[in-house]
Homo-oligomer: A and B are copies of this chain.
Amino acid sequence: MHRTRVKVVEGVLDANDTIARANRSDFDAADVTVVNLMSAPGAGKTTLLERVVADLGDVRVGVLEGDVQGSLDADRLASLHVPVTQLNTDPGFGGECHLDANMVRSALGDMPLRDIDLLVVENVGNLVCPAEFRVGEDARVMVSSVTEGEDKPLKYPLMFRTCDLVLVNKVDLLEHLDYDLDLFLHHLDAVHPGVPRMLVSARTGEGVAVWRDWLLERVAERAGAPA
């Protein structure tokens, strides 16, 4: 019984990888750098995006907003006058808890890929399943809020192990919390040794310029790559 179940799951992930490669091919053809942005609910993905999108200079950005229901985040980002496509997962299963490659693919028709340099895919707030589904991204950025405690890398290891950058958010609250930043970083390095990390505050803007520079470098790498 258990064997059968595992086979089905492998089938799902195989199909996902096939579609992720098709997405990747479209992104390459349009010269778009794609970032998959992930976190627990309420860690600050959207507020960080609002901050950074307003500060990207000549780089043209688009956003694909994943949510179970509603368009609250897409509405916030659209006010920044960048192309935003909302992707709601609630038609499936009382709400899918993640984006997969096919969901992203279904939204690409509405996104003017030729007119942007950077596509940010804001995933559903969840530290488990989003890590299991590649969508064709160049890089995975995860946001971990200091209000969530130091133990999260140990409890959700796949998410922390498969990301390329960790934004440690809400550091403006550190002085009001019993949170041991060194212990968090120790756990992070146990799970993903040396992964780049930045201390940021979406609220005060602290560290957001460092993240912006990281994004600009990712975009520049693609521009400098042989066609």
Interface residues, chain A, CB within 8 Å of chain B? 5-6, 9, 40-42, 67-70, 72, 92-97, 124-129, 131-132, 145, 147-149, 151-152, 154-158, 170, 173, 176-178, 203
Q: Is the CB of A68 within 8 A of B155?
A: yes
| Residue ID in chain B nearest A175 by CB atoms | B176
Contacts of A68 in B (CB 8 A): 128, 155-158
Contacts of A42 in B (CB 8 A): 40, 145, 147-149, 152
Smallest CB–CB gap between A102 and chain B, Å?
Answer: 11
| Residue ID in chain B nearest A5 by CB atoms | B92
Main secondary structure of the interface of A (DSSP, over half): loop
| Residue ID in chain B nearest A191 by CB atoms | B69
Q: Is the CB of A9 within 8 A of B93?
A: yes
Contacts of A70 in B (CB 8 A): 154-155
| Residue ID in chain B nearest A157 by CB atoms | B69
Q: Is the CB of B67 within 8 A of A155?
A: yes
**A69-B155 contact, Cβ under 8 Å, with A9-B93, A148-B42, A173-B173:** yes
| Residue ID in chain B nearest A162 by CB atoms | B94
Contacts of A9 in B (CB 8 A): 92-93
